[in-house]
């Protein structure tokens, strides 16, 4: 188990200034959903982007975190996503 704020801190440390959204839908501190929007993802495949998120979490992925649903976007993809769903738009 890992408190959501610790997971968020790890992600924000590795993606400084980027959008990091994290939820714990079960409230069990083991199953998380995250959205990361980063310019670091430009030119990377979705698999490479997800690997970057896993690397940011390090050992927590092997021990404390049981499941992680990941959505990654470049800033341009995020803008397109937000314009496609304006009711959900925020930055």
Can you give the CATH number for the domain in which 67 is found?
Answer: 3.30.300.90
Region 50-70: what's the mean pLDDT? 95
Is it the case that residue 90 has pLDDT exceeding 60? no
pTM here is 0.88
Q: Total domain count for the chain?
A: 1
Q: Is residue 40 one of the residues assigned to a domain? A: yes
Tokens of 90: 């925020």
pLDDT of residue 83: 85
Residues contacting residue 20 through CB under 8 Å, at least 6 positions apart: 8, 11, 12, 34, 35, 36
Q: Is residue 35 one of the residues assigned to a domain? A: yes
Region 60-89: what's the mean pLDDT? 88
**Which domain, by its residues, includes 39?**
4-86
């Amino acid at each position: 188990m890992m408190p959501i704020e610790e997971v968020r801190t790890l992600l924000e440390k590795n993606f400084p200034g980027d959008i990091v959204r994290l939820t714990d839908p079960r409230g069990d501190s083991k199953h998380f959903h995250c959205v990361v929007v980063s310019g670091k993802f430009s030119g990377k495949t979705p698999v490479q982007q997800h690997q970057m998120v896993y690397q940011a979490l390090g050992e927590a992925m092997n021990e404390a975190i049981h499941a992680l649903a990941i959505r990654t976007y470049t800033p341009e993809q995020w803008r397109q996503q937000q314009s496609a769903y304006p009711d959900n738009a925020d930055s």
